[in-house]
């Protein structure tokens, strides 16, 4: 529910320039501070971070994980609407294993794999504003870590299916862990949702004959995989010996941040993909609706999905009252027609070509291979759909499409035809990214028809090549939109992720470090609000109910432009970034920051 209506202009701050500085920059009149960084203690008994990264795997499991991504602010006490005391539910998307331990990946061991797993996953920390600063509450009873080994319950149509069963779990209903959690969502009943994105990175199938399902989801086929080396010490990630383990990842997961003992679950009804975000809307009859992007940075051309629950949620009810809502419902994939109309195509077994002959003998097979289901049903291939934001009043929906360097350049990995520009993905190749928005028919989030348009194309407005210029009002250069959020006043905050690549790429490096801009959805005007340190991604944004604190995550400062994302130059973290601890610290750390106005005013006005 919007807590504050607009007064005066929607966006009132002065746009800041691009930056190549190894720090966070915000507009005049604003301040920022670190609230919680990688390695900071978040649970009772957790030790303080050591900058030489000498701590054990067990210690890491009580501290903040490594690469902060999605997050949500939950007021304390629950339901209070407090803007000065709350829980942050957070994703720790992945790790740079060269930074994670003192001597990095030069030597590799089971203990290092364990520390890497313990620096992945999810967390909850308690934060309080007092004395003019946000602080992480020490020894909080809510502090929690969920790692790559924490037990999850599998629910929904795929639970127990043969494709979900493994040696370790012959029931197909229990799985250890979550990882590569990118972007997030939340529920009206006060729980946190997180999105398993590039889960394939940890598996390896070097048999020379990869099964079709593993191939469609991009399981690496070389012995070294993508450079994550868990499979060397944990046989679960050997996709030859344990072919179904990877089917147990790529889901939307849920847990209750207010109950540190609650069992986390995976909701298979919402489909399996490289999940990026779960944006909540509510249908007119109270059914719960989630919009979800499938962002695979290798295959690039994937779909946008929508889930509509079968039953309305219990308004004002607890998690216990609503815990099965996300397990029954209808999954759809989006088709964006050239005339600005669109359809949500139902991905239900027996409909829209999803037959046993096509490999879909049950709904379990539809949700496990939701990508192919979207292909068969005729969904549109989008340019790497990332976060989605729903306007709190109009329910208009905005999706960031990060980029697609392969569009128009040849044959995509998994589709038979070369895919050139289309109405919803108008640039080929698309280096800079864009934002598409849609309005559901009759203003009802459960509709199966919608109308859409391109909200903006990002770019460098003075670029000689028109394909890279974009059409942003206000002349603000930015590229690779990823994180996005519409705040309670209706400001669309857009965050960028060209990370390591921007230092090496001729076009992207023109734009400097990653950033966050504010857009007015009604006028399209854009102003630059924040620039991050060198090599970081800027991701996730949350405002407290009073709109006077904004939390943002600075992810992977110092990421190096190497072929494998997250692989820093061994032993040379200082060469790229030392944020936020400075030269004395040396080792860069992802962190949540809190932004306030010096005069305590409303952010963005």
Interaction between residue 386 and ligand FEO (CB under 6 A): yes
Closest to Ca ion by CB, 120 vs 161, is 120
DSSP string across 174-190? EEE----EEEEEE-TTS
Site string for ligand FEO, 161-180 (x = CB under 6 A): --------------------
Which of ligand FEO, Ca ion, none has residue 59 at its interface (CB below 5 to 8 Å by kind)?
none
Least Å from the CB of residue 502 to Ca ion: 12
Question: In whole angstroms, what is the distance from residue 493 CA to residue 520 CA?
Answer: 9
- Given candidates 482, 487, 507, 559, which one binds ligand FEO under the rule CB under 6 A? 482
Closest to Ca ion by CB, 232 vs 482, is 482
Interaction between residue 494 and ligand FEO (CB under 6 A): no
Dihedral in degrees, nearest 10, Cα atoms 131, 132, 135, 139: 20
Closest to ligand FEO by CB, 89 vs 157, is 89
Interaction between residue 96 and ligand FEO (CB under 6 A): no
Least Å from the CB of residue 397 to Ca ion: 17
Interaction between residue 182 and ligand FEO (CB under 6 A): yes
Sign of CA dihedral 323, 325, 331, 332: negative
- Given candidates 295, 383, 440, 487, which one binds ligand FEO under the rule CB under 6 A? 295
Closest to ligand FEO by CB, 182 vs 492, is 182
Sign of CA dihedral 168, 243, 254, 100: positive
- Given candidates 22, 197, 375, 460, which one binds ligand FEO under the rule CB under 6 A? 197
- The vertex-68 CA angle with 66 and 71, nearest 5°, equals 145
Least Å from the CB of residue 407 to ligand FEO: 16
Least Å from the CB of residue 383 to ligand FEO: 12
Q: SS3 string of 138-151?
A: CCCCCCEEECCCCE
Interaction between residue 232 and ligand FEO (CB under 6 A): no
Which of Ca ion, ligand FEO, none has residue 369 at its interface (CB below 5 to 8 Å by kind)?
none
CA 370 to chain centre: 18
Written as six digits, the tokens of 67 are 């690469």
Q: Please list, in sequence order, all residues whose beta carbon lies within 8 angstroms of the beta carbon of residue 239, skipping any fewer than 6 positions away.
A: 203, 204, 205, 210, 214, 219, 245, 246
Question: In whole angstroms, what is the distance from residue 545 CA to residue 429 CA?
Answer: 40
Least Å from the CB of residue 482 to Ca ion: 4
Binding-site size for ligand FEO (CB under 6 A) equals: 7
Which of Ca ion, ligand FEO, none has residue 96 at its interface (CB below 5 to 8 Å by kind)?
none
Q: Which stretch binds Ca ion (CB under 5 A): 24-32, 198-206, 328-336, 379-387?
A: 379-387
Least Å from the CB of residue 386 to ligand FEO: 5
Least Å from the CB of residue 566 to ligand FEO: 10
Strand 151-155, strand 265-267: pairing: parallel
Q: How many residues does the chain have?
A: 605
Residue nearest to ligand FEO (CB): 182
Interaction between residue 497 and Ca ion (CB under 5 A): yes
- Given candidates 22, 460, 482, 487, which one binds Ca ion under the rule CB under 5 A? 482
Least Å from the CB of residue 256 to Ca ion: 24
Whether residue 219 contacts residue 210, with contact meaning beta carbons closer than 8 Å, is answered with yes
Question: In whole angstroms, what is the distance from residue 347 CA to residue 224 CA?
Answer: 35
- Given candidates 40, 232, 276, 396, which one binds ligand FEO under the rule CB under 6 A? 276
Whether residue 281 contacts residue 291, with contact meaning beta carbons closer than 8 Å, is answered with yes
Q: Please list, in sequence order, all residues whose beta carbon lies within 8 angstroms of the beta carbon of residue 60, skipping any fewer than 6 positions away.
A: 39, 100, 115, 118, 119
Q: How crowded is residue 186: how many other Cβ atoms within 10 Å of its Cβ?
A: 22
Which of ligand FEO, Ca ion, none has residue 487 at its interface (CB below 5 to 8 Å by kind)?
none
Question: In whole angstroms, what is the distance from residue 90 CA to residue 380 CA?
Answer: 31
The footprint of ligand FEO (CB under 6 A) covers 93, 182, 197, 276, 295, 386, 482
Residues engaged in binding Ca ion (CB under 5 A): 69, 93, 182, 386, 482, 497
């Amino acid at each position: 529910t919007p807590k504050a209506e607009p007064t005066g202009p929607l966006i009132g701050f002065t746009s800041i320039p691009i930056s190549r500085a190894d720090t966070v920059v915000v507009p005049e009149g604003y301040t920022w501070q670190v609230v919680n960084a990688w390695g900071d203690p978040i649970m009772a008994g957790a030790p303080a971070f050591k900058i030489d990264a000498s701590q054990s795997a067990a210690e890491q499991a009580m501290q903040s994980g490594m690469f902060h991504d999605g997050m949500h602010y939950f007021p304390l006490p629950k339901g209070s609407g407090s803007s000065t005391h709350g829980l942050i539910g957070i994703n720790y998307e992945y790790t740079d294993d060269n930074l994670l331990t003192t001597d990095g990946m030069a030597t590799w061991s089971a203990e290092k794999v364990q520390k890497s797993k313990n620096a992945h996953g999810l967390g909850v920390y308690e934060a309080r504003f007092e004395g003019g600063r946000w602080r992480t509450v020490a020894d909080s009873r809510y502090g929690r870590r969920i790692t790559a080994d924490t037990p999850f319950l599998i629910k929904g149509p795929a639970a127990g299916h043969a494709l979900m069963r493994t040696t370790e779990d012959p029931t197909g209903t229990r799985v250890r862990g979550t990882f590569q959690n990118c972007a997030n969502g939340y529920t009206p009943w006060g729980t946190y949702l997180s999105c398993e994105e590039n889960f394939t990175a940890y598996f390896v199938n070097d048999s020379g004959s990869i099964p079709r399902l593993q191939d469609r989801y991009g399981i690496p086929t070389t012995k070294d995989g993508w450079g994550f080396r868990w499979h060397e010490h944990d046989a679960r990630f050997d996709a030859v010996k344990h072919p179904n383990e990877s089917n147990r990842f790529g889901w939307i997961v849920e847990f209750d941040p207010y109950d540190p003992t609650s069992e986390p679950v995976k909701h298979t009804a919402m489909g399996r993909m490289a999940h990026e975000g779960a944006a909540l809307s509510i249908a007119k009859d109270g059914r719960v609706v989630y919009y979800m992007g499938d962002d695979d940075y290798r295959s690039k051309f994937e779909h946008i999905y929508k889930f509509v629950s079968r039953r309305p949620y219990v308004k004002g009810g607890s998690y216990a009252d609503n815990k099965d809502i996300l397990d029954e419902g209808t999954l759809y994939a989006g088709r964006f027609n050239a005339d600005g109309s669109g359809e949500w195509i139902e991905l239900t077994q027996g409909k829209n070509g999803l037959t046993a002959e096509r490999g879909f003998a049950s709904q379990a097979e539809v949700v496990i291979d939701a990508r192919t289901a979207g292909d068969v049903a005729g969904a549109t291939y989008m340019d790497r759909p990332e976060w989605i934001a729903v306007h709190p009043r109009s329910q208009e929906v905005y999706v960031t499409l990060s980029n697609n360097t392969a569009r128009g350049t040849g044959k995509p990995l998994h589709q038979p035809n070369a895919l050139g520009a289309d109405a919803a993905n108008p640039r080929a190749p698309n280096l800079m990214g864009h934002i598409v928005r849609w309005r559901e028919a009759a203003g009802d989030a459960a509709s199966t028809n919608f109308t859409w348009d391109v909200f903006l194309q990002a770019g460098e407005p003075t670029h000689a090549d028109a394909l890279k210029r974009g059409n942003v009002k206000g002349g603000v250069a930015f590229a690779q939109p990823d994180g996005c959020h519409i705040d309670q006043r209706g400001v669309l905050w857009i965050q960028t992720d060209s990370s390591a690549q921007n230092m090496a790429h001729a076009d992207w490096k023109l734009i400097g470090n990653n950033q966050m801009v504010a857009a007015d959805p009604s006028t399209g005007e854009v102003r630059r609000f924040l620039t991050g340190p060198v090599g970081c991604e800027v991701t996730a944004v949350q405002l407290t109910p009073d709109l006077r604190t904004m939390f943002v995550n600075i992810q992977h400062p110092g990421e190096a432009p190497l072929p494998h994302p997250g692989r820093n130059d061994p032993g040379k973290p200082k060469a790229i970034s030392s944020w936020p601890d400075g030269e004395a610290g040396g080792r860069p750390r992802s962190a949540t920051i809190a932004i306030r106005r010096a005069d305590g005013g409303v952010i963005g006005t």
